[in-house]
Structure 1
Amino acid sequence: MKNYSLKTLAFRTLTTTARLHARKKRLVSNEVITVLNLHRVAPNTGSTYNALAPALFNELIVYLKKEFYICLFSELEQIQSHRPKLILSFDDGYKDFIDYAVPVLDKHKVRVNQNIIPYSVETGLPPVNVLLQDFIGKAPIELLKKIPLEIATDGDRHEVGRAASFAIKYLPAAQFVLQREVLLNFLLNYPEFLCASAMTKQDILDIAAVHEIGAHSYEHLSMESQHEDYFLEDLQKCKTYFAEDLSLECNIYAFPNGSATKKQVQQAKEQGFDHILLVGDKYSPSRSEVFNRFTFDASSMDEAKYKSFGRRALIT
């Protein structure tokens, strides 16, 4: 007899055909949208920043095509379907999206939303908290103790990585930029322990005819921690970058870390962003300008099914 973990048994219990069928009917009848928020699709590199395995991503796409109508934000109002609508929304613009996700999406003819960070496109560097999590997962303990950040480096590495990420990603702009410079001066000396990289302009242009490209802020700061002038400038910089550097329209704004005030959401609307993306792990009305997203990762198909159907979120 197989020795299943409690987590595995829980996912199997919560993904019975009867339960998922009942949720599916309610999603359709209540006219709500499921938006799954993904980040990296890549083989296990040892980073504490978890990526979705390519084989599991392929299995997930096959499953989602059967159970949902996968669409884009720009298509929501035109689509009529007896299946619940679902959007796959990627953040950060990692190079592994090109290497591992796009071939799967092309094979199954699925289109997704990808939200890029202009700073990362221009520098080739992903958000510094992600580089930090790469380093913490792979570097020897002696080097972890040298990280120029006040964090405990003993214990479980995934916990250390999460704590390090949290320590920097909610800083106000002036402190964040200074801390980023200090960390990059340290981390870039050890490229052998780093694995994430960003898409190039050409990568973005190559996929823009198929996939829906949005902005994930200009340099990935948590906006609730920023002054109003900084946020308004960020919105304009994203618009300008898309128009002048990419020759693309920019009408999607995904708040980094889901961090946004009600006023900032309204200001993004006023600046011409038609689709505002947050997190929150809940469903969104079918006719909406603001979308909550379900943070998505998984290590098994049962877990992926459970999270695809919104965990235990209320369907209202």
Structure 2
Amino acid sequence: MALPYRSVLKRGFYGVLSLLREDIRRASAHGRRRLLTVLCLHRVAPDPNPFWSPLHPRVFDELLRFLRRRYRVCTLDEAADDPDCASDRRPWVAISFDDGYRDFVEYAMPLLHRHRVPVIQNVIAESMETGRPPWTVLLTDFLAAAPVALLRELRIPGFDRPLRGSDPDHKASWGAALDRFLKLRPRAERAALWGPVQSLMECHGPFRTTVMMTPADVREAVRLHEIGAHSHSHESMAYESDEFFLDDLERCRRWFAANGLPWRTYAFPNGSYRPVHLELLRQRGITRILLADDHLSARTGPVYSRVSITASSVNEARLQAAGFRATRP
């Protein structure tokens, strides 16, 4: 099947930048400035999703090969212990994953083992307990499965964007707007708006949902990788009260303790937080705090910016890893 016009243009754009060695130029500059790139990934799988497509295993394999060749691939501990490292002028990179999807075990871990790369997997504790994906992933699973005619029946107070086109690009853009509308508010407020979505799901019938890691998967992963928390509930914490945030942290603590896991890393869900949350995390012994802001970081922490990898091609992945969309701290 022919690629959409926009995809062809994007591949050509990143292809030209790679021919000009823009990825290598940027990476070298980060090394000279002693900056740390912390990559943020979510899924690695061969099945595309128009709303939130995973990184293809082939692209991830080539990205790891590029990083091993051009970067010092490190853990956050290594970066903090020797941030100046005059003997190594290469750019430094650490890798993190968010959410805790089953395809991390199926596709990412074998490739990480092959390339000898340790990462941090930040899991959603509630999803590890229940086996269900967070509501935002459930929503995109449903949007991918539902026909446009059914989605046009959706009526949510305050969400007035019409779904006019029937092509995949229109559907994906409309779905992203719906996701943002529901995401950028407190959990209680969103729950009051969820009824029409739930009704459409029931009208549609069963659909394929994203599979999460199990506690057994987590215990297998922790043998080679660090497990961090991506909250318990995966709510946008900037919109929640301090009491909600602290209760969510306590639920995370209990889950880590029940599973015999050390816990010192926290990644904010949806990149959403307030400055007070940083101090609340430090008070509770969380020594590495991960943001999602497409910035580069100082190597010492304890707060680390991260660069999101959302590529559909090897060239795009390499350029994103080199901070093509990122800025300095």
- Per the normalisation by structure 1, the TM-score is 0.90
1:238 pairs with 2:252: yes
Alignment of 1:26-45 (within 5 A): 26-45=29-48
Query: Which is worse superposed, 66-75 or 266-275?
Result: 66-75
Taking the aligned partners of 1:205 and 1:181, their CA distance within structure 2 comes to 36
Could you say which residue in structure 1 is the equivalent of 2:176? Answer: 162
Could you say which residue in structure 1 is the equivalent of 2:25? Answer: 22
Taking the aligned partners of 2:244 and 2:142, their CA distance within structure 1 comes to 30
The structure-2 alpha-carbon separation of the partners of 1:180 and 1:301, relative to structure 1 and needing over 3 Å to count, comes to same
The structure-2 alpha-carbon separation of the partners of 1:89 and 1:260, relative to structure 1 and needing over 3 Å to count, comes to same
Could you say which residue in structure 1 is the equivalent of 2:271? Answer: 258
The structure-2 alpha-carbon separation of the partners of 1:144 and 1:103, relative to structure 1 and needing over 3 Å to count, comes to same
8 Å contact from structure 2 (residues 154, 196) kept in 1: no
Q: CA deviation at 1:22?
A: 3.2
8 Å contact from structure 2 (residues 311, 317) kept in 1: yes
The structure-2 alpha-carbon separation of the partners of 1:102 and 1:187, relative to structure 1 and needing over 3 Å to count, comes to farther
Could you say which residue in structure 2 is the equivalent of 1:152? Answer: 162
1:131 pairs with 2:138: yes
Taking the aligned partners of 1:266 and 1:305, their CA distance within structure 2 comes to 34
Residue in structure 2 matching 1:69, options 68, 72, 92: 72
Residue in structure 2 matching 1:278, options 286, 291, 315: 291
Could you say which residue in structure 1 is the equivalent of 2:238? Answer: 224
Could you say which residue in structure 1 is the equivalent of 2:94? Answer: 87
Structure 2 portions without partners, runs of 5+: none
1:311 pairs with 2:324: yes
1:247 pairs with 2:274: no
CA shift digits 1:202-232 (9 cap, x unpaired):
1101111111110001110001100111111
Q: CA deviation at 1:105?
A: 1.1
CA shift digits 1:130-160 (9 cap, x unpaired):
1211221222223323557446344312112
8 Å contact from structure 1 (residues 49, 134) kept in 2: no
The structure-2 alpha-carbon separation of the partners of 1:8 and 1:46, relative to structure 1 and needing over 3 Å to count, comes to closer
RMSD between aligned alpha carbons? Answer: 2.4
Could you say which residue in structure 2 is the equivalent of 1:199? Answer: 213
Residue in structure 2 matching 1:9, options 12, 20, 34: 12
The structure-2 alpha-carbon separation of the partners of 1:66 and 1:191, relative to structure 1 and needing over 3 Å to count, comes to farther
The structure-2 alpha-carbon separation of the partners of 1:182 and 1:133, relative to structure 1 and needing over 3 Å to count, comes to same
8 Å contact from structure 2 (residues 40, 309) kept in 1: yes
Q: Percent identity?
A: 34
The structure-2 alpha-carbon separation of the partners of 1:120 and 1:183, relative to structure 1 and needing over 3 Å to count, comes to farther
Structure 1 portions without partners, runs of 5+: none
Aligned length, in residue pairs: 313
Taking the aligned partners of 1:230 and 1:182, their CA distance within structure 2 comes to 25
